[in-house]
Structure 1
């Protein structure tokens, strides 16, 4: 509506009152729109938002409000923390928190530590097949939650000889992986299994 009134005003007749009446717009609204300028605060916010986005990009998206606020202060820009948070939110940005470490293996303090029969020698030769096995557990994040994978690896052939998956970290998972390895390889008595 307002561009049409602007065009009418620019014409020779220059009758803003008539155009506003025809379009059912008050003249005050037209002039308010025509003279509307962003306030000084809005201009400062726009300038500060640009700087916040630049700092956020420099940090690869890791900086949140506290670090952005500190960085702005170091650059001589003194603004409240809440203002920085509001502008960061308005820009559609957020800081990234580091992932928390989950402890998955907790040894029982009452049990004696078994002897290391391999003595940290993980070298192998072709004749060492089904002599020394090694095992570990890893966890995989899926859409339905955590999936735990236990594996048994033959150090002689460097192949996975047994494995098992479950949604828990109980002893059954490791026992199932070992049973799977024994069923597939049928080792001679005396095979050494090393695990943490």
Structure 2
């Protein structure tokens, strides 16, 4: 909204606001918020800096749960979701644990013999049971 008024200064603030049915007090409150952020935004900046410090201190391994736990131990009262949001906005991510590998069959290896005759069981005996 404020960008529209900035792009077209010749129109005048009051005329634009009147056409858009926006109170002038709302416009000036938006302007003031651009210049001086609210307490929550200032606190977010401080928390983001501390989160970056913690993340770097632990070698970039810690994700939001561990960072939140460190902040909690330090006595900082902040929610887990807020830590997640701030880390996401700052493009900070922990390292996910590696999954354990699963066994892959060697394509060159020969198959083990079918000692319980599984292939024959399905076709002939399965029909006689039903």
TM-score in terms of structure 1 length: 0.40
Report the equivalent of 1:63. 62
In structure 2, the partner of 1:162 is none
Kindly indicate whether residue 20 of structure 2 is the aligned counterpart of residue 33 of structure 1: no
| Shift >4 Å, 4+ stretches | 27-32
Shift of the 90–31 alpha-carbon distance from structure 1 to 2, 3 Å rule, reads closer
The alignment yields a C-alpha RMSD, in angstroms, of 2.8
Task: Name the structure 2 match of 1:169.
Answer: 105
Partner residue of 1:86?
85
Matches within 5 A, 1:116-131: none
Instruction: List runs of 5+ in structure 2 lacking aligned partners.
Output: 3-7, 15-23, 111-130
Q: Relative contact order: is structure 1 or structure 2 higher (C-alpha 8 Å, sep ≥ 6)?
A: 2
Question: What are the within-5 Å matches in structure 2 for residues 3-42 of structure 1?
Answer: 23-26=10-13, 28=24, 29=27, 33=31, 36-42=35-41
Output the CA distance in 2 between the equivalents of 1:65 and 1:94.
8
Equivalent residue runs for 1:73-112 within 5 Å = 73-104=72-103
Once the 2 structures are TM-superposed, how far is the Cα of residue 92 of structure 1 from its aligned partner?
A: 0.9
1:98 Cα shift?
1.7
Distance 1:102 1:22, change over 3 A: closer
Deviation by residue 1:139-196 (Cα, 9 ceiling, x = unmatched): xxxxxxxxxxxxxxxxxxxxxxxxxxxxx624x5246xxxxxxxxxxxxxxxxxxxxx
| Cα distance in 2 between the residues matched to 1:25 and 1:31 | 17
Aligned pair in 2 of structure 1 residues 55, 25: CA closer, same or farther (>3 Å)? farther
Q: Which has the higher helix share?
A: 2
Matched residues in 2 for 1:45 and 1:174: separation?
Answer: 58
Q: CA separation of 1:169/1:56 partners in 2, compared to 1, >3 Å: closer, same or farther?
A: same
- Tell me the TM-score normalized by structure 2: 0.58
- Return the alpha-carbon distance in structure 1 between the equivalents of residues 81 and 28 of structure 2: 35
